[in-house]
Amino acid sequence: MLIDNLTGYFYSGLNSPNILVSILFVIIYAIIISILMSVFAYVFGWVERKMIAKTQYRHGPTYVGKYGIFQNLADFIKLLSKEKMVPGNADRFLLNVAPVLLVSITVFIIFLIPFSPYLQASNLGLGLLVIFVFLGFTPLLLFVAGYSSGGKFAELGAQRSVLMLISYEIPMIIVVATVGFAAGSYNLNSIIRMQSTLPYAILMPIGLIIFFIAMLAELERPPFDLREADSELIAGWLTDISAPYYALALMLDYTRMFMGSLIIAILFFAGWSGPILPGIFWLIIKAFIISVFIIIVRVTVVRMRIDKILKLGWMYLLPLSLINLLLTLIIVIL
Amino acid sequence: MNIERAALLPTIEKMKQSGFDYLVKITAVDYIKKINVIYILRSLEQNKDEILEVEIDPTDAWIESIMKFYLGADWYERELQEMFGVKIKGRVAKRLLLEKWDGKGFPLRKNFVWNKSYDKE
Amino acid sequence: MALTRINIGPVHPSTHGVARLVVDLDGDTIVKIEPHIGYLHRGVEKLVETRMYMQSPPYMEKIDYVAPMAMDELYVATVEKALGIDVSEKAGYARMILLELQRIASHLFWIGSVTNDLGQSFTGFMWGFRDRDIILRLLEDATGQRMFYVNMRLGGITREFPKDFEENTIKTLAYLEKRMKEYENFIEKNPIFIQRMKGVGVLSIDDAINLGVTGHVLRACGVKYDVRKNNPYYNYETLNFHPKILSDGDNLSRYRVRIMEIEESIRIIRDSFYKLQSAHGNMVGMPVKLVSPKPVNKIAMVSREAPRGEAMMYLVCDDQKPYRLSIRSPTFINLAALNHIAKGHRLADLFSIFATLDMVMADVDR
């Protein structure tokens, strides 16, 4: 109840008629969300390391803190204390701007996500579309980041990620459109309310699978991590990035995973709605479980090849997403 | 089987036609007065190895390339050229295979002496 | 379109040491690969000439550091042949057991590195290493060292097997057989793995013979050549042993050949232990002495089926030192074939091909 009261108070603050109060609350909200995001990314970084270690009969981090919980922090500090090196033929401006922009876009998307009925920066009528418009920028920025560092490995990685973009983006948008049709709205809160009786994971399982695969590709997680394929391209666009930006890039990986899991949780698993616990907990629990699935995929599969990804996208995902659209329309109309 | 240098290519061609289609190794031994280049050929079907030895003069060390019969001879010949200074005729000279220095002399010859100046590289 | 030239290595996560490949790319397609080797060239062949016969085995182990015993044994066998020393039946079986254990360990290491090169974030790698470590522990029991054993002596091995060695080994083999099923479920039933391996890096049988590739690369092309069968040494004749061949010549066949070889090695070890009980002779060889008997043969040539393919040594004897030792390392010739195999493939496939050829750069460079 306390949390509900607090969020209610917050909601009235955010939508206050006084513009100054509203701006103040937006800033406070931004800080809270950034902290939440960092904490999730941090904890998840640890969970991922531990989980992968367990699959591989290792212990994972153990020394820094209890169960090695502070290992990532130690790594982070170490990276911050390193010298920042920029290759001679790199485009310094773009190389510096791209990672920062990437982080800001991710943070911005998380702003738009409702953590509970009232805990949201702005309840946009077309929230879903706005999210995907901004999500569409990220591959471009990654391309810029790869291209500007001047290395050939980074360039190859960037080319691959653009090639990959055309294979998964369209099925993903079609699935998003299907969700919009089913809910009758692109407002995130109404999409969630529509799911309170029947989550869309049950209504359109095909859509969920397509969206999950497309999201893996969007997040560049294995098996679609072609851009930073560590055994081929060394680290792709990260090859020539050092010190603080590398730390930022690592952080980015987890924040983007958090973002992706949140989007999946909202579109298919009814977001914040759930019994007893307040909405924010429900959403984070769901996002956590989805992230765990992403990790399980990571430890078990080998990397796909670019032409096979294109084939997967155009030959399977696109027709399936259209079928999904048709089926959903039939069910919804009936 | 000892053969003359001039008879190398005809012999190997004949051997290859008679079933010795697999090249195991090309190597050489420096006997100071002569260098023996050794070809170890194998017939996979007959399960038989054959060793050809060609004597050459260290001061006039060259031998014909057998690349046109065995593609696998490529690296062995380059190694031979590099280590024994046996020039391989009939193929394009390539960069050194194993060594990363351009010192004088050929390491596996018996008269090779390590020069202190090589250490700097 | 202009070609892109990229330089892979010598420091790169999947070049298995210090290989440097200069690759010309047309878009994402490989036009030409030029391997640059020699970063690990230690001149072993020259070093040996300055030492007495039995001073060299520690050097030989470092040629192929993934399977040290194979090279160690090969060198000692070559010296034995030159000096005219016989190996007793019992010592032969003991050596066979150790060699096959070494082969399994080396192959498990390889399975790990293949899955890692295909981008599986170290899961297969760790699994392979874990099982390899169990075998290394067995070898440690038998020889006293974990990796660099220097266990071969003229005419035998350093010491008798410990009492519980046989029991432990048989137990481990049963465990390994169970694990091999798990590998099959985990790796071979993965459709993406099959996609990445099947039909990739095809080498035809004629090209394979012409290029002179050895070991599993040759056998995956359908050539039935295994030194253990075609030119048997020790007591391999007495065992019912069949070399494993497949005919596709692609990455997947190379992988499967190796998996089958592990299973075959497990059988060989079991049989050897059985035969060891009734074998005659002494297992322990001559103690190491600086001065060895006079050589009987001026020239000795011995070849062995090392884990990575056919290894061969050509030894010309002086009185107490090798006059010249020429080593045929299996990976040297397999790497020479890389350009031929990988031409026309995509860059991503280069690494799976490179991985299945099983490179140990120390072995290439000697």
Instruction: Confirm whether B37 is domain-assigned.
Output: yes
* Chains with at least 3 CB pairs less than 8 angstroms from chain B: C
Closest C-alpha to C356, from C88, C95, C117: C117
A213 vs C: CB within 8 A: no
Instruction: Confirm whether B61 is domain-assigned.
Output: yes
Residues in Cβ contact with C101 at an 8 Å cutoff, skipping those fewer than 6 apart? C135, C138, C139, C169, C265, C269
Label residues C140-161 b or e (16+ Cβ within 10 Å = b).
Answer: eebbebeeebbbbbbbbbbeeb
Average pLDDT over residues C19-23: 85
- Chain C residues near residue A225 by CB distance under 8 angstroms: 119
Neighbours of C223 (CB within 10 A): 21
Residues in Cβ contact with A12 at an 8 Å cutoff, skipping those fewer than 6 apart? none
Report the relative pairing of strands B62-64 and C29-36 from DSSP bridges.
unpaired
Neighbours of C298 (CB within 10 A): 11
In eight-state DSSP terms, residue A82 is S
B96 vs C: CB within 8 A: yes
**How many angstroms separate the CA atoms of A245 and A231, rounded?**
21
Higher pLDDT: C208 or A13? It is C208
In a mutational test of the C interface, the residue from B2, B16, B23, B27 whose CB has the highest number of chain C CBs within 10 Å is B27
**How many angstroms separate the CA atoms of C257 and C274, rounded?**
26
CA-nearest residue to C213 within chain B is B72
**Would you state the pLDDT for residue C11?**
79
Neighbours of C235 (CB within 10 A): 19
Would you call C119 and A302 a contact, using CB atoms and an 8 Å cutoff?
Answer: yes
**Would you state the pLDDT for residue A2?**
65
- Chain C residues near residue A229 by CB distance under 8 angstroms: 119, 348
C–A touching, 3+ CB–CB pairs within 8 Å: yes
- Nearest CB among A226, A300, A308 relative to C195 is that of A308
**Would you state the pLDDT for residue B117?**
65
Establish whether this prediction's ipTM goes over 0.90: no
Would you call B72 and C210 a contact, using CB atoms and an 8 Å cutoff?
Answer: yes
**Would you state the pLDDT for residue B120?**
57
Residue A223: is the preceding peptide bond cis (ω within 30°)? yes
- Chain B residues near residue C39 by CB distance under 8 angstroms: 100
CB C335 within 8 A of CB C31: no
Which residue is it, tokens 């291209």? A147
- Nearest CB among C231, C314, C323 relative to B27 is that of C314
C137-167 residue pLDDT tens: 888 888 888 888 888 888 888 888 888 888 8
Would you call C348 and A229 a contact, using CB atoms and an 8 Å cutoff?
Answer: yes
* Chains with at least 3 CB pairs less than 8 angstroms from chain C: A, B
Measure in Å the smallest separation between the Cα of C311 and chain B Cα atoms. 10
> Counting Cβ atoms within 10 Å, is residue B102 exposed (0-12), middle (13-18) or buried (19+)?
exposed
For chain B, 121 residues long, give each residue's pLDDT as a single digit of tens. Answer: 888 888 888 888 888 888 888 888 888 888 888 888 898 888 888 888 888 888 888 888 888 888 888 888 888 888 888 888 888 887 776 667 776 666 677 888 888 777 666 665 4
Mean of pLDDT over chain C: 85
- Chain B residues near residue C231 by CB distance under 8 angstroms: 47
CB C75 within 8 A of CB C311: no
**Which tokens belong to A311?**
């084939």
Chain centroid offset of residue B121 CA: 27
CB C71 within 8 A of CB C99: no
Q: How confident is the model at residue A123 (pLDDT cuts 50, 70, 90)?
A: confident
Would you call C120 and A303 a contact, using CB atoms and an 8 Å cutoff?
Answer: yes
Residue A117: is the preceding peptide bond cis (ω within 30°)? no
In a mutational test of the A interface, the residue from C134, C187, C192 whose CB has the highest number of chain A CBs within 10 Å is C192
**How many angstroms separate the CA atoms of A221 and A229, rounded?**
10
Mean of pLDDT over chain A: 81
Q: Domain range for residue B77? A: 2-99
pLDDT of C1 > 70? The answer is no
pTM of the full structure: 0.84
| Number of residues written out for chain A | 334
What share of chain C in percent tops pLDDT 70? Answer: 99
Which positions in chain C have a beta carbon within 8 angstroms of at least one beta carbon in chain B?
A: 37-39, 41, 43, 45-46, 207, 209-213, 223, 225, 230-231, 301, 303, 310, 312, 314, 316, 323-324, 326, 328, 332-333, 336-337, 340, 365
CA-nearest residue to C324 within chain B is B29
Provide the sign of the torsion angle of the four alpha carbons C216, C221, C226, C227, taken in this order.
negative
- Nearest CB among C7, C118, C347 relative to A303 is that of C118
| Cα angle C342, C344, C349; round to 5 | 50
SS3 annotation, chain C: CCCEEEEECCCCCCCCCCCEEEEEEECCEEEEEEEECCCCCCCHHHHHHCCCHHHCHHHHHCCCCCCHHHHHHHHHHHHHHHHCCCCCHHHHHHHHHHHHHHHHHHHHHHHHHHHHHCCCCCHHHHHHHHHHHHHHHHHHHHHCCCCCCCCEECCEECCCCCCCHHHHHHHHHHHHHHHHHHHHHHHHCCHHHHHHHCCCCCCCHHHHHHHCCCHHHHHHCCCCCCHHHHCCCCCHHHCCCCCCCCCCCCHHHHHHHHHHHHHHHHHHHHHHHHHHCCCCCCCECCCCCCCCCCCCCCEEEEEEEECCEEEEEEEEECCCCEEEEEEECHHHHHHHCHHHHHCCCEHHHHHHHHHHHCCCHHHHHC
Report how far apart, in Å, the C-alpha atoms of C131 and of each of A109, B52, C38, C110 are: 45, 44, 31, 12
In a mutational test of the C interface, the residue from B97, B112, B113 whose CB has the highest number of chain C CBs within 10 Å is B97
Which residue is it, tokens 């999409």? A191
Which residue is it, tokens 């259209």? A322
Out of 3.90.550.10, 1.10.260.40, 3.40.190.10, 1.10.645.10, the CATH code matching C41-333 is 1.10.645.10
Bridge partner list, B88: B63
In a mutational test of the B interface, the residue from C20, C33, C42, C46 whose CB has the highest number of chain B CBs within 10 Å is C46
A248-286 residue pLDDT tens: 887 888 888 888 888 888 888 887 777 777 777 888 888
Q: Which residue ranges make up each domain of chain C?
A: 41-333
Bridge partner list, C346: C29
A56 vs C: CB within 8 A: yes
Per the structure, how many domains does chain B have? Answer: 1
**Would you state the pLDDT for residue B103?**
63
**Would you state the pLDDT for residue A1?**
56
B1 vs C: CB within 8 A: no
Instruction: Confirm whether B82 is domain-assigned.
Output: yes
Instruction: Confirm whether B42 is domain-assigned.
Output: yes
**Would you state the pLDDT for residue C124?**
79
A55 vs C: CB within 8 A: yes
In chain A, which among 273-302 make CB contacts under 8 A with chain C? 298-302
Which residue is it, tokens 């497309």? A214
pLDDT of A110 > 70? The answer is yes
- Chain C residues near residue A159 by CB distance under 8 angstroms: 28
Write the DSSP assignment of chain B as a string of letters. -EE-STTHHHHHHHHHHTT--EEEEEEEEE-SS-EEEEEEEEETTTTEEEEEEEEE-GGG-EEE--TTT-TTHHHHHHHHHHHH--EEETS-----SS-----SS-TTSTT----GGGGG-
